[in-house]
Amino acid sequence: MANDKTARKTESKKPTGGGEKIVRLESLDVFRSIMLFLLIFLYDVSTLKSAPSWLFDSPKGRDQLGLLDVVLPGFLFAMGMAVPYALESRRQKGDPLWSVSLHVVLRTVALLVMGVFIANYEAIGESAVPKEWVGVGLVVCFFLIWNDYPKAKGYLVYSLRAIGIAGLLWFLYQYKAKGGGVFSFQSWGDLGVIGWSYLLCAAVILVTRFNLLLSLVAAAVAIALCTLPNAGIIKQLHLHQWAFLVPGGGVHAAFALTGAMTGVLVNRFGEKVNFNKTLLPLLLGLMLGALAAAYWARHHWVISRADATPTWLFTCCAIFFALFVLIFWITDVAGKGRWFKFLFPAGVASLSCYMISHLWYNIQALGGWDYPKMLNDGLLGLLRSLIFSLAVIGIVWLLMKIKVRLKI
């Protein structure tokens, strides 16, 4: 078992030109699990009566950076890192390009559907079903449709998926907005942002694969399009009518493509024995470059996630480069990945963790349950949110034991 694990780590470090087997880095799953854990924690902190302001996202126009302003782009960065490994693995298994492309499209559609439903159902007005029940029903439908069923699929699996799809269609039919209208788009939500960013990133990686130069160029172009005057990828390409498809003007895709470039870089120079001579100086150099760019951008834009400013982009990238260097050293170089074992489900079943936390809030509202007042404020409130986040991860771990896990 230990030898297999060592082999997996070694395989993932080989420069890939098309022959070597691709296995994703342990440090990548740890990075993503930390971001997902923080996301669940911070969303629960937002339900407290009071908490330190630096934990939250900053409002539009405010020159300020909160922890939540860093976490979602961190997840996009980690997603981007994973894309080259995931797509190359499929191609090396013999999947033709059209099959891999179809997988990308279907995965994007799944994220967009879940994102739109989760982000917009709370605008419900009069309905035969309370919105809390709708929230519970949506999560159940998502699990029915996109659960990681056993490979030996039969009529039962198809029936469960059909029930899930029917449930979503029923919700659309009976939905009544507060103004009396039908279901209408308000926001893509977190999952929608991830979905569009994934699509743009995957489309680029299908062309560049593990070519380091092309990956660098793709990331540089995405960043440049977000920092030029009249910034934003959509604005630069004069595709204003499609602006609603790319939240943040494309800056989220820039995070993903920067992550993809980092993933290719790690694959090329991630040998453990040469870490101090190759990968460490490269990533630290990128971190210093991002800090210098952030310093330059600070003279032109405020630092704001809500406004998707280049200053925010560069500052976050500097943080991610530094954090990944630390995680890579701990897990892949020092071999201490077990330190993060309690976060493992958040790294491999991130979508399930996200949905279970959402499910809990609706169940709590339906039951009329509330925490004791002492747990809704101050340090005890923060401790409550910490325990809640760990509990969500624990529940997902138990669900994985019985083969219940969202996989798209």
Q: Which pTM value belongs to this model?
A: 0.87
pLDDT reading at 405 higher than 90: yes
Provide the 8-state DSSP code for 246.
Answer: S
Residue with token string 């924690």: 41
* 119 inside domain: no
Total number of domains in the chain: 1
For residue 162, being part of any structural domain is answered with no
Q: Is the residue at 111 inside a domain? A: no
- Tell me, yes or no, whether 362 lies in a domain: yes
Cα–Cα dist 183/117, whole Å:
9
Average pLDDT over residues 40-65: 86
In a domain, 16, yes or no: yes
Half-sphere exposure of 212 (CA within 13 A, CB side): 11
Q: Please tell me the predicted confidence (pLDDT) of residue 229.
A: 54
Answer yes or no: is 259 within a domain.
yes
CA atoms of 264 and 154, how far apart (whole Å): 39
pLDDT tens digits, one per residue of 69-113: 999 899 999 999 999 999 988 888 888 999 999 999 999 999 999
* Domain housing 90: 2-94+186-401
E strand residue ranges, 154-267: none
- 322 domain-assigned: yes
- The answer to whether residue 133 scores a pLDDT higher than 50 is yes
* Whether pLDDT at 246 is above 50: yes
**Chain segment 152-176, per-residue pLDDT in tens:** 678 889 999 999 999 999 888 777 6
Q: What is the pLDDT of residue 130?
A: 80
Residue type, 302: V
11, part of any domain? yes
Residue 18 near residue 211, CB atoms below 8 Å: no
- Other CB atoms within 10 Å distance of the CB of residue 170: 13
d(CA 160, CA 145): 7
Whole-number Å distance between alpha carbons of 373 and 356: 24
Kindly report, residue by residue over 287-304, the tens digit of the pLDDT.
999 999 999 988 888 898
Would you state the pLDDT for residue 1? 43
- As a whole number, mean pLDDT of residues 17-40 equals 81
Residue 53, pLDDT > 90, answer: no
